[in-house]
Structures are given as structure tokens and as C-alpha cells.
Structure 1
Amino acid sequence: MQLKLKKALVLLPIMLSLIGTITGIMSYVNLAPEQHFLQAWLNAFVFAFLVMLPSGALIFAAIHKLVNSLFVRMPSLYKKLLQGILMAVVMESILAIVTTAINHDFGSISHFTTTVITSFLYALPIGLGFACLMTFVLHPKLETFFTDPQA
């Protein structure tokens, strides 16, 4: 198996778990009584997988560059934690807006805004938990795995 493909397959379950959990929470929170959860979640999950996952790499690169240029003297661990928190907030904000827009037709902007904020706030602890897990546990292990020529 090619090395890059093997490494990508290691990351796929992690990203699918993250996307599935966050879109599931957001879909459940703003589910209307007449909607079916599975259909609402699947719509949000497909968008997140096809659009947000690839664009997440670009967003991460931009956040990484911004944090490293603004906080030059900050210790590396704090920079990584800040990047994780910013990634969680940015990605979840986008997912909350899209998940709400996909699953509802709103007549008023205030109802739409309330639903987006509710979705975001319910999923935020999970996103921050994933950010900490990635920063402190998975990222160091993945870094070691990816730099190992035998992996």
C-alpha cells in the first residue's frame, strides 16, 4: 500500500468521528418535530464530509499562520491549543449555519439566528473536547507516526 494512502486512512476514522458527532448533535438540536433525524443528520454529514473536511485543511493552515505570526513568543503548546480552539469555533460556526440552513426553511432571521446559536452552543463542548484531544493526545502520536519512514 502506498505510504500517503496508508497515512490518509489513519486520519479518516478520526475525522469521520469528529464530523459525525458534531453534525449529529447539531442536527438533533435543531430538528423539527416533523423531521426524521437520520435524514437531517445525513444531509449535514454529507456536506461536512464533502465541503468542510477539505476546506478545513485550508482554514487550519490560515489559522496556523495567523497564530504563529501574532503570538511569536507564546510557547508551542499554547499556540497549538489556541489553534485547536480557533479551529473548533470557526468550523462549528460554519457547520451550525449550514446544518440549520439545510434542515429548515425560516421566515424570520431572528428564528434562524437563534437556531444557529443553539446548535453551535450545544456542539461547542464536544468540538473543544476534540480540539484538546487532538492537541494533547492524537497530534503527538500522529506526528510520530507520520515522521516514521516505516509507517
Structure 2
Amino acid sequence: MSKKVQKIGIIASIVIVFGGFLTFLMTWRNIGFSDGFMGAWLSSFALCILCIAPIGGVIAFLVHRVVKSVLPNVSALQQNLVFGLIMAVIMESIMALVTTINLHGLVVLKAFFELWLATFVSALPAGLVISILMSLVIKPKLAAFWAKPA
């Protein structure tokens, strides 16, 4: 199997596992374990994957460049930690937005903001843990794996 196919498979697996988990939390926070939970969760998950997969890499690239340029004199570990925290907030915000729209539609702005904020806050702790894990453990291991010759 080529490195490119392996890379795509690994990234897709990570997005599916973490995206599924976070949208599960967000959906549960919004509607609980009701009869329509599975359908609501799967639709929120699919929409988040469709939104995040294409733009997540671009956002990560831009955030990485900004962190490196703003914090050039700090260690790579500290840069990765800052990167992870920023990415968690951005990606959670997008996922909460998509999930809130999917589950509640576009309601009155004040109500929508309250629903979005509750959704965002409910999954943020898990998102921060995942993002730190990604930045400090998974990302360096993947970089080392992809740096090896085929």
C-alpha cells in the first residue's frame, strides 16, 4: 500500500473516530437519548465530516503558520500545545455550529446563540483533550511515520 493511501486512511480514521465522538456528545447535549437520537447524530456527524474534512486541513495549515510566526522563540512542544488549543476551539466552534443548525434549524438569533453555546461548551472539554493528544502524541508519531522512506 502506498504512503499516500496510508496517509489518507489514517487521517480519515482519525476524523471519523474523533468527529463521531464529539458529534455524539453534542447531539446528546441537544436532544438527549430520545427515539430520534441515532438519526440525528448520524446526520450531524455526516454534515460535520462534510464541512470539517475539506476545511480542517486548510485551517490547521494556517493556524500552524500563525503559531510559528507569532511564537518563534518557544519550543516545538509549546507551539504544538498552543496549536492544539487553538484548533480545538476553532473545530469545536464549527462542529457546534453545524450540529446546532442540523438539530434546531435557524431559529431566532438569541435562541440560536444559546443553543450553539451549550453545544460548544458541552463538547469543549473532550475536544481540548483530543486536540492536546493530537498535537503532543499523535501528530509527532505521524510525522515520524511519514518521514520514513517507503
Q: Please give the per-residue CA displacement for 1:67-111, whole angstroms capped at 9, x wherever unaligned.
A: 111112121111111111101100111111111011113542222
Please state whether the residue corresponding to 1:30 is helix, strand or coil: helix
What is the root-mean-square deviation of aligned Cα atoms in Å? 1.7
Give the TM-score of the pair, scaled to structure 1: 0.91
Distance 1:124 1:111 in 2: 20
Deviates more, 1:94-103 or 1:5-14: 5-14
Q: How big is the shift at 1:12?
A: 2.2
Distance 2:107 2:3 in 1: 51
Give the TM-score of the pair, scaled to structure 2: 0.91
User: Is the 2:3–2:146 Cα contact (8 Å) retained in structure 1?
Assistant: no
Q: How many pairs does the alignment contain?
A: 150
Match of 1:66 in 2: 66
Distance 2:137 2:23 in 1: 23
Distance 2:140 2:33 in 1: 43
Q: Does 1:76 align with 2:76?
A: yes
Task: Pick closer, same or farther for the CA change 1:33–1:79 going to 2, 3 Å.
Answer: closer
Q: Please give the per-residue CA displacement for 1:6-64, whole angstroms capped at 9, x wherever unaligned.
A: 22212322221110011111111111787611111111111121221120000011111
Q: Does 1:118 align with 2:118?
A: yes
Question: Which runs of structure 2 are paired with 1:137-148 in the superposition (5 Å)?
Answer: 137-148=137-148
Which residue identity is paired with 1:95? Answer: M
Distance 1:63 1:7 in 2: 21
User: Is the 2:26–2:119 Cα contact (8 Å) retained in structure 1?
Assistant: yes
Q: Does 1:103 align with 2:103?
A: yes
Q: Which ranges of structure 2 fall in alignment gaps of 5 or more residues?
A: none
Task: Pick closer, same or farther for the CA change 1:49–1:107 going to 2, 3 Å.
Answer: closer
Please state whether the residue corresponding to 2:149 is helix, strand or coil: coil
Distance 1:136 1:107 in 2: 39
Q: Which runs of 4+ in 1 moved over 4 A?
A: 32-35
Task: Pick closer, same or farther for the CA change 1:148–1:33 going to 2, 3 Å.
Answer: closer
Which residue identity is paired with 2:39? Answer: Q
Q: Which ranges of structure 1 fall in alignment gaps of 5 or more residues?
A: none
